[in-house]
C-alpha cells in the first residue's frame, strides 16, 4: 500500500510552540506542543488517477500467477477501498472485503497488511470504532507501519480522541516524513486553528510529492486552506495548478466550481457541478450543487439533488456503510428537523468528534431546542478550528437564545473567516447581522 493512499483530512482533521516549518524539517511535531489536525466531514480525500486502475490490474495479474500471496491480496483489498472512494461507488466494498478476508485466510496470524486494509475499509464504511481496533492490532504487529498509523489517525480523529490522533500522526512523521504524514499533520494543525502551520505542512507535502496525483492532491488541499480563509484568488490558483497536473480530478473540479459560485458566475458554476456530480455523485458535491441551485431560485432542481443524496445513502447502506452525519446535515436544512435530530443523535452516540458536535447542535437548533444546542456548538469550536459554517451555526443558536452581542460576534466571525462559505447561509448570516444591529 503506498503512502499516497493514506493522507488528511481534511483537509476536511489533521500544533504549537515551535514554528511548524522547523518542526517539519526535523521530521516531527512535539506532542502537546507543536502539532494538531477536516471534513471530510468524514474521511479525508486522497489522490487518485489512472494509477489506481493500473495498480489494481497489476495486483490481479500477480494473483493469477501467485494466487496464495497474502500481501498481494491485502494490497488489492486496500486498492478496492480507495476505488470505492474515488468513484463514489460502494459496490467495491464487497470486493475489498473478499480480498482482505482471503489475505487473512492465507495468513491468519501476524498479517498487519490485512488488518490495515480492514481498518481502512471499516473507516470507509464509517465504522470508526472497528477501524481503530484493526489499526491498533496492525500497529501492535508492525509498529513501523506508516499506513497502519495513518488508519489509526483517521479513525481516532473521527472518534474525537484528539490525543490519540495526534500521537498517531506524530509517529507517522517520525517514521516517514512524506506526503501521507505531512498532509495529516496539516489537517491536525487546521483542526486546532493553526492555519499558517497547516499551510506550511501542506507545502512540505507538495515538496515531497513525486507523482501527478500527489501534486494534484496537495494543490487541492492548499486550495481548500485558502478557501477556508476566504482567499478566492489563492484558492483559484491552487485548484488551477492541480488541474494542470491532473485535468479531470473531481476534487479540483469541485474547488473550481465553488470559486465560480463565489464570484457570482452562477451559470458556469452550475454547469461545473452538473458535470461533476454526473461523474462522481458524492454526497458533498450533490449537497453543494443543490444549495447553489436553491440559492439561484431553482428549487425543484435543488430538491432533485437532495433526493439523489438519499438514494446514494441507501446504496451505501446496502453495502454495509452508514453515514448519519450526512443524513443529519441534509435533513436539518432541507428535510425533516425531527429526522435530522434522530440522525445526529445516532451519530453522536457512536463518536464525539467536533463534526458530530456541530451536526447535533444544528439539528437541535432546527428542532427549537437552542438551550440544549449551545453546549454542542461550543464543543464544535473547542479545538480552535476556524470554520465559517460552525461559527454561523453558533451565531444562529445564540440569536435564537437572545444573546445579541455574542450572536453578532459569532456571525461576524463566520463572515470574516470566509464570506463565501455558503450560497445559502452566508446571505442569512448577513441579513441576521443587519437585523441584530438594527435592533440594538
For the chain, domain boundaries: 3-210, 328-440
Q: Write down the CATH superfamily of domain 3-210.
A: Tetratricopeptide repeat domain (1.25.40.10)
Q: Cβ-count burial of 368 within 10 angstroms (0-12 exposed, 13-18 middle, 19+ buried)?
A: exposed
Query: Do 15 and 29 meet the contact criterion of CB atoms below 8 Å apart?
Result: yes
Pull the grid cell for residue 193: 486553528
**Is the predicted pLDDT of residue 8 greater than 90, yes or no?**
no
CATH of span 328-440: 1.25.40.10
CA distances from 358 to 22, 74, 75, 110, 325 (A): 33, 36, 36, 39, 10
* pTM of the shown model: 0.85
Same fold, 3-210 and 328-440: yes
Distance of CA 308 to the CA centre of its chain: 20
- The pLDDT score that the predictor gives to residue 50 is 62
Whole-number average pLDDT of the chain: 88
- The pLDDT score that the predictor gives to residue 323 is 81
**Is the predicted pLDDT of residue 36 greater than 60, yes or no?**
no
Spatial separation of the C-alpha atoms in residues 160 and 181, rounded to whole Å: 19
Pull the grid cell for residue 175: 517514521
**Is the predicted pLDDT of residue 20 greater than 70, yes or no?**
no
- The pLDDT score that the predictor gives to residue 316 is 82
Q: Give every CB contact of residue 132 below 8 A, 6+ residues apart in sequence.
A: 119, 152, 155, 156, 159
pLDDT in tens, 330-357: 999 999 999 999 999 999 999 999 999 9
Amino acid at each position: 500500500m503506498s503512502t499516497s493512499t493514506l493522507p488528511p483530512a481534511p483537509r476536511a482533521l489533521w500544533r504549537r510552540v515551535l514554528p511548524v516549518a522547523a518542526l517539519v524539517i526535523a521530521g516531527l511535531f512535539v506532542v502537546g506542543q507543536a502539532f494538531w489536525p477536516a471534513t471530510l466531514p468524514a474521511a479525508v480525500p486522497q489522490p487518485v488517477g489512472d494509477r489506481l486502475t493500473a495498480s489494481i490490474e497489476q495486483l490481479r495479474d500477480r494473483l493469477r500467477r501467485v494466487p496464495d500471496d497474502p500481501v498481494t491480496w491485502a494490497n488489492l483489498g486496500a486498492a478496492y477501498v480507495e476505488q470505492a472512494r474515488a468513484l463514489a461507488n460502494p459496490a467495491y466494498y464487497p470486493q475489498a472485503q473478499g480480498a482482505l478476508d482471503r489475505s487473512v485466510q492465507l495468513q491468519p496470524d501476524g498479517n498487519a497488511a490485512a488488518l490495515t486494509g480492514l481498518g481502512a475499509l471499516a473507516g470507509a464504511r464509517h465504522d470508526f470504532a472497528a477501524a481503530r481496533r484493526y489499526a491498533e492490532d496492525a500497529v501492535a504487529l508492525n509498529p513501523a507501519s506508516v499506513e497502519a498509523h495513518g488508519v489509526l489517525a483517521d479513525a481516532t480523529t473521527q472518534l474525537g480522541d484528539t490525543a490519540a490522533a495526534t500521537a498517531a500522526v506524530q509517529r507517522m512523521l517520525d517514521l516517514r516524513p512524506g506526503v501521507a504524514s505531512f498532509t495529516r499533520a496539516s489537517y491536525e494543525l487546521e483542526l486546532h486553528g493553526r492555519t499558517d502551520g497547516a499551510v506550511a505542512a501542506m507545502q512540505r507535502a507538495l515538496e515531497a510529492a513525486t507523482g501527478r496525483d500527489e501534486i494534484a492532491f496537495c494543490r487541492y488541499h492548499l486550495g481548500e486552506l485558502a478557501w477556508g480563509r476566504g482567499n478566492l484568488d489563492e484558492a483559484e490558483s491552487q485548484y488551477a495548478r492541480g488541474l494542470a497536473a491532473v485535468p479531470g480530478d473531481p476534487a479540483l473540479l469541485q474547488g473550481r466550481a465553488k470559486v465560480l459560485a463565489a464570484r457570482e458566475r452562477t451559470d458556469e458554476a452550475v454547469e461545473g457541478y452538473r458535470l461533476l456530480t454526473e461523474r462522481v455523485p458524492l454526497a458533498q458535491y450533490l449537497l453543494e450543487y443543490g444549495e447553489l441551485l436553491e440559492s439561484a431560485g431553482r428549487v425543484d432542481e435543488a430538491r432533485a439533488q437532495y433526493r439523489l443524496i438519499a438514494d446514494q445513502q441507501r446504496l451505501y447502506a446496502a453495502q454495509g456503510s452508514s453515514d448519519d452525519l450526512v443524513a443529519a446535515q441534509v435533513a436539518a436544512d432541507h428535510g425533516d428537523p425531527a429526522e435530522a435530530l434522530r440522525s445526529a443523535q445516532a451519530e453522536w452516540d457512536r463518536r464525539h468528534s467536533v463534526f458530530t458536535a456541530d451536526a447535533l447542535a444544528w439539528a437541535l437548533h432546527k428542532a427549537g431546542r437552542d438551550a440544549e444546542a449551545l453546549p454542542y456548538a461550543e464543543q464544535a469550536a473547542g479545538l480552535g478550528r476556524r470554520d465559517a459554517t460552525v461559527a454561523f451555526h453558533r451565531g444562529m443558536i445564540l440569536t435564537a437564545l437572545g444573546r445579541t452581542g455574542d450572536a453578532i460576534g459569532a456571525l461576524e466571525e463566520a463572515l470574516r473567516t470566509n464570506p463565501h462559505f455558503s450560497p445559502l447561509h452566508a446571505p442569512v448570516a448577513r441579513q441576521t447581522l443587519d437585523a441584530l444591529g438594527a435592533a440594538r
